[in-house]
Structure 1
Amino acid sequence: MSDIAKFKYKEEDLKMLAGFTLLDDDFMTIVFDRNIEAAELVLNIILGRNDLKVIEVVAQREYKNPITGGRSIKLDIYAEDSNGKVYDIEVQNDDAGADIRRARFHSSMLDTKMLKEKQKFKEIHDSYVIFITKNDYLKMGLPMYHVERTVQEAGTLFGDGSHIIYVNGSYKDDDDPVGKLMHDFRCTSAADMFYQELAKPVRHFKETEGGRSKVCKAMEERIDRERIETLFDVVKNLMEAMKMSAEQAMTTLKISDADKVVLAKRF
């Protein structure tokens, strides 16, 4: 690739970066990874508290399904507070990614890592799955939706410690902390944000050389992962259709030696 082409590609990356908001999960995970201050702000506002202390924040934490062939997940943001409660914060630009059964699945996967062998069930900590959606996913015009299991006959909470919250990313009210938070999640510029806990890292990743480089590198890595996933599906389909080995299929498709090495680990 020529130097001009490389420069053009970089300019395209920077243009895309300029349009990112915290509702874009790739950008959001970079901003929040290891960022305790930002995570505390978001959780305290959403939970209506001011005393929640976060002790760990990790982006893209993987939860592997113990069943062979079972679906695994990567959490956008995993957080744990000083009382052992765990949080999964997901952002969704697309309604399809905010399916209520996905929230249920995420909640169940969090539970699988809660207890060690022989621990009592009552020792399991509370968990919160929080979906921040670009649109009002549940379409009731509310800023937030708290989902809890209930005893229907008594109309009381079941109280099992499992909590699901949908936050309406389109909610607008600059006099409400949730409204201000969602305003900041929609902003493309740090200068327009209310909360410095968010503005500071957004400014770093959008306006400094080191921050921009990290985001652009992450974008390129994501594109490459998606390319490999597409190649894997094509190879797998050819293997099944033509009864070929992985090597035969990759040779037929004229896949590069470098990509063969990566793909071979998948078969």
Structure 2
Amino acid sequence: MKESSRFKPLNKLTFTDDYMFGEVLKDPELCAGVIERLLKIKVDHIEYPELQKTIKPTYESHGVRFDVYIKDSDKVYDIEMQNNTYDEILLRSRYYQSMIDVDNLLKGHIYKDLPESFIIFICKNDPLGKKLPCYTFKSTCLETEITNKTDKTVKVFYNASAWDKTENEELKSFFKFICNNKAESSFTKSLLQKVRETIKNEEFIARYMAVNLHDYDIMEAGRKEGLTEGAREAKIQTAKNMLVEKIPIETIVKCTGLSIEEVKNLG
């Protein structure tokens, strides 16, 4: 396999690429800037940015890896960059929310102390097909309006491709940057500059190469396992065909390499 097909070359990385996205948003000022433009709020400070945070409450459970998981003084934000469209994106957000809550509870919080949380998906394409620039989900009561009670969870899905329908100029510029990697505002120019600096950072280069080589090794192991399983399936099908033709079991064993017991079980 060619080197270029294993992972994206460093000089081709953009802000929206998985590893770069997390690396840029490790900068608290840039991270706060993204949140402020998306949610139209003022972030007092970023307590801690965590790149590719993995939450896995128990050894047996399925963990979830967040692109960027951060906190300010009383809120939790999970920011995800989505370059592809997934049919199950709503269910993914549900799982992410549950993992954030479990993570907080395992740290000793009680229910009433759970922070307000925001699951934010920044999507290059329309995630829900209604051509809106933003889709916001909050829990509501169907029977009556309740304004003084909330579960303090918000899920927001942004459709950057609908930048032309966005009235806020700062957000429009950010969405256009997501879609075409062209910086027009001072903020997106700061993001682009950070990307260019990161590409030249030796520590980042080493980590990026290590992560991608690790992923490549896993992929190759899976591919080889798949080839092995495929070869076995082919042997089994050949044996079945030979049994139909009433070819002796001993001959089938010699031709396929299957054991006598395996061939007999196919009959």
Length-normalised TM-score, structure 1: 0.72
Question: Is 1:185 paired with 2:174?
Answer: no
Asked if 2 retains the 8 angstrom alpha-carbon contact of 1:62 and 1:74, the reply is yes
- 2:217 matched residue in structure 1: 228
Name the % identity.
24
* Partner SS, residue 71 of structure 1: coil
TM-score by length of structure 2 reads 0.72
TM-superposed deviation, 1:216 = 4.0
Matches within 5 A, 1:5-24: 16-24=9-17
State the partner residue of 1:46: 38
Aligned partner (choices 92, 106, 115) of residue 105 of structure 2: 115
1:76 aligned onto 2:31: no
Change (3 A) 1:166 1:61: same
The residue that corresponds to 2:21 in the other structure is 28
Code of the residue aligned with 1:163 in structure 2: it is V
Q: Distance in 1 between matches of 2:108 and 2:208?
A: 43
Match of 2:138 in 1: 148
Bigger mean CA offset, 150-159 vs 120-129: 150-159
Aligned pairs (5 A) from 1:179-258:
179-188=172-181, 192=184, 194-195=186-187, 196-206=189-199, 210-211=200-201, 213-233=202-222
SS class of match (1:78) = strand
Which letter does structure 2 place at the counterpart of 1:50?
A: K
Alignment partner, residue 83 of structure 2: 93
Deviations 1:120-152 (A, max 9, x none): 311111111111111011122222111111101
Question: How far apart are 1:23 and its partner, in Å?
Answer: 2.0
Query: Using a 3 Å threshold, how does the CA distance of structure 1 residues 198 and 13 change in structure 2: closer, same or farther?
Result: farther
Q: Please, which runs of 5 or more residues in structure 1 have no aligned partner? A: 1-7, 243-267
Give yes or no for contact 2:81–2:122 (8 Å, CA) kept in 1.
yes
Task: Give the number of the structure whose alpha-carbon radius of gyration is greater.
Answer: 2
Aligned to 1:167: 158
Q: Match of 1:112, SS?
A: helix
Contact 1:23 1:93 in 2 (8 A): yes
User: CA separation in 2, counterparts of 1:187 and 1:194?
Assistant: 16
Q: Read off the aligned partner of 1:222 and give its amino acid letter.
A: V
Q: Show structure 2 runs of 5+ residues with no match.
A: 233-267
Contact 1:92 1:131 in 2 (8 A): yes
Local SS of the residue matching 2:136: strand
Task: State the distance in 2 between where 1:225 and 1:205 align.
Answer: 21
2:28/2:46 contact within 8 Å kept: yes
Distance 1:16 1:9 in 2: 9
Would the aligned equivalents of 1:22 and 1:186 in 2 still touch at CA under 8 Å?
Answer: no
Structure 2: distance between partners of 1:169 and 1:194 = 18
CA distance in 2, matches of 1:169, 1:28: 15
Question: What RMSD, in angstroms, separates the aligned Cα atoms of the two structures?
Answer: 3.2
Residue 246 of structure 1 aligns with which residue? none
Alpha-carbon separation, structure 2, partners of 1:230 and 1:121? 40
Listed one character per residue, the Cα deviations across residues 11-41 of structure 1 (whole Å, up to 9, x for unaligned) are: x9998344433222122112222x1011100
Superposed CA deviations along residues 32-55 of structure 1, whole A, max 9, x for unmatched, are 22x101110011111111344212
**Offset, 1:161:** 0.7
